[in-house]
Amino acid sequence: MPASPSTARAINDRLALRLLQQEGPLTAGQLKQLTGLSRPTVADLVERLTAAGLITVVGEAGEQRRGPNAKVYGIVADRAHLAALDIRTEGVAVTVADLVGRVLAEASAPIGDDTGTGPAVEQAVALVERVVKEAGADRLHTVGIGAPGLIDPASGELRDSSGLPEWHRRLVAALQERLPEARVSVENETNLAALAEQRDGVARDRDTFVLLWLGHGTGAAVVLDGALRRGASGGTGEIGFLPVPGAAALPSSTDCEGGFHSLAASGAVVNLAAQCGVPAEPGQEPSAVGVVRAAAGLVRSAVRDARGAETGAGASGTASKGGASRSTGGAEVSVSPGAFPAAPPRALPAARFLDALADRLAVGVASVVAILDPGCVVLGGEVGQAGGDELAARVQDRIARMTPLPTEVRTTTLGGSAVLRGALLTARDRAQEELFTPGERPVQRW
């Protein structure tokens, strides 16, 4: 059955708006070329969208720069304002953007462990209000929140989870109360990071992949056939509870100690570095990001020196256990006592640390690969970014030996900022979904 005239107009309007979002400002002629619609149809939709306050003339194009064909149309960016929040155990980060996703203001603030629930909520809400004011926004249309923990698939609410601060759940409710006109939604932080990597990061070319989050804790997000999979209870990717060999005890329903968390969470990574003799970055307290970044940097420098050595002794097709290797266009350079005697002494403990960390990560990755066969695993979060190619290549090498399923291991390009980026993308999508809905639209600023 052919579409009714009103349905056809709605489809055309949404197509034009999506193109303006993706491509930026366009002339009517460019819209005609990209949509395949006739000139009169494009003229009609431009008139409709302009009258609805969704697009406006933002400039002129062409040599003569006059006449209707020279007008360049763009989405009215200040039609709505959006906010994105990244809630962590230790604090909160906030971004405010316009309808096309252009960031107008952003800030973050620490919230100490000893801060009470009420004061913590007030600090976070005050930060949101301050950033909104700095962005020049009167009010918010949509708020997207990324938080650790489980999201109830039925209610969309953050579930009560032991080990996570109570102010996380209270903050969501407080924002809904303080911003009654805004649409407030919350999503698991790792799921948002995967969305950001798929849209703007290292997984843009993948419809199926798994993101392994490596930060204060661990988590995983599963994208299959282009869609994020949350599971029956919203718990897909709770890899921290995965039982692992060699642990002193099994994880419980309320505690992931004894699971993969005990191998790859930040505290375990810092302890592993100390065991391997890898110091923290100069002048800083030991942290998972710091020790991994320091180790990767030492190995990277040693590899660079090895490749530049005229002896060629650093070239090797495989990485030896306890040596430092890095993928270099299909070949690997090894740093070990035998292969490169001139390697800085500190590079060898760093290489052993990255090898040991890769051994641990491979336990979780291999389990995911065996069940899902994603073809690609992204090492995400601040720790994944700190490890870089030096860590990713080691994990990929181990997975290749542990499973017959071909799996590429990539390093995040967004790092810890992926959660905030994912929250902003979901807020933008939700706002545009509502504002771009066909029908009579009152011109109202948000």
Q: By C-alpha distance, which of 238, 208, 243, 233 is closest to 220?
A: 238
The CA distance from 190 to 60, in Å, is: 42
347 has a pLDDT exceeding 90: no
Which tokens go with 371? 């069940």
pLDDT at site 163: 72
pLDDT for 10 equals: 87
pLDDT of residue 265: 94
Q: What pTM does this model have?
A: 0.86
Bridge partners of residue 158, in order along the sequence:
151
What local confidence, expressed as pLDDT, does residue 89 receive?
Answer: 87
What pLDDT, on a 0 to 100 scale, did the predictor assign at position 164? Answer: 81
Say if residue 254's pLDDT is above 50.
Answer: yes
Q: What is the pLDDT of residues 33-71, one digit of tens each?
A: 999 999 999 999 999 999 989 999 998 876 555 556 679
Angle at alpha carbon of residue 27, lines to 25 and 28, rounded to 5°: 130
Q: What would the mean pLDDT of 199-206 be, rounded to a whole number? A: 96
pLDDT at 116 over 50: yes
- Residue 155 is predicted with a pLDDT of 85
**pLDDT reported for residue 310:** 45
Please report which confidence band the pLDDT of residue 329 belongs to, taking 50, 70 and 90 as the band edges: very low
380 pLDDT higher than 80:
yes
Higher pLDDT, 386 or 283: 386
**In this predicted structure, what is the pLDDT of residue 281?**
67
Span of 117-126, 236-245, 276-285 with lowest mean pLDDT: 276-285
Q: Residues of the chain with pLDDT > 70: what percent? A: 86
Q: Is the pLDDT of residue 285 over 80?
A: no
Give the least confident one: 98-112, 141-155, 247-261, 411-425: 247-261
Nearest to 195, CA basis, from 146, 143, 233, 232:
146
Task: Give the count of beta carbons closer than 10 Å to the beta carbon of residue 21.
Answer: 17
Q: pLDDT digits over 62-112, tens only?
A: 655 555 667 999 999 999 999 999 999 889 999 999 999 999 999 999 998
SS (H, E, C) the chain: CCCCHHHHHHHHHHHHHHHHHHHCCEEHHHHHHHHCCCHHHHHHHHHHHHHCCCEEEEEECCCCCCCHHHEEEEECHHHCEEEEEEEECCEEEEEEEECCCCEEEEEEEECCCCCCHHHHHHHHHHHHHHHHHHCCCCCCCEEEEEECCCECCCCCCECCCCCCCHHHHHHHHHHHHHCCCCEEEEEEHHHHHHHHHHHHCCCCCCCCEEEEEECCCEEEEEEECCEEECCCCCCCCCHHHCECCCCCCCCCCCCCCCECHHHHCHHHHHHHHHHHCCCCCCCCCCCHHHHHHHHHHHHHHHHHHHHHCCCCCCEECCCCCCCEEEEECCEEEEECCCCCCCCCCCHHHHHHHHHHHHHHHHHHHHHHHHHHCCCEEEEEHHHHHHHHHHHHHHHHHHHHHHCCCCCEEEECCCHHHHHHHHHHHHHHHHHHHHHCCCCCCCCCCC
More confident residue, 446 or 76: 76
Could you give the CA distance from residue 137 to residue 135 in angstroms, rounded to a whole number? 5
Q: Side-chain half-sphere of 411: how many Cα atoms within 13 Å?
A: 17
Query: In this predicted structure, what is the pLDDT of residue 442?
Result: 42
Mean pLDDT in the chain?
87
pLDDT of residue 65: 54
Q: Cα(204)–Cα(187) distance, rounded to whole angstroms?
A: 21
Confidence at residue 246, expressed as pLDDT on a 0 to 100 scale: 72
pLDDT score for 286: 80
What is the model's pLDDT at position 305?
77
The structure tokens listed for 147 are: 């938080």
Instruction: Write down the pLDDT at residue 316.
Output: 45
* Res 389 pLDDT > 90: yes
Is a pLDDT exceeding 60 seen at residue 414?
Answer: yes
Does the pLDDT at position 315 exceed 80? no
Q: How confident is the model at residue 339, as a pLDDT? A: 44
Residue reference for tokens 């292969």: 339
Q: Which of 68-82, 209-223, 305-319 has the highest mean pLDDT?
A: 209-223
Choose among 110, 87, 90, 140: nearest CA to 419.
Answer: 87
Cβ distance 256 to 216 under 8 Å?
no
Q: Is residue 54 within 8 Å of 17, Cβ to Cβ?
A: yes
pLDDT for position 126: 96
**For residue 325, is pLDDT > 70?**
no
Q: What is the mean pLDDT of residues 153-159?
A: 84
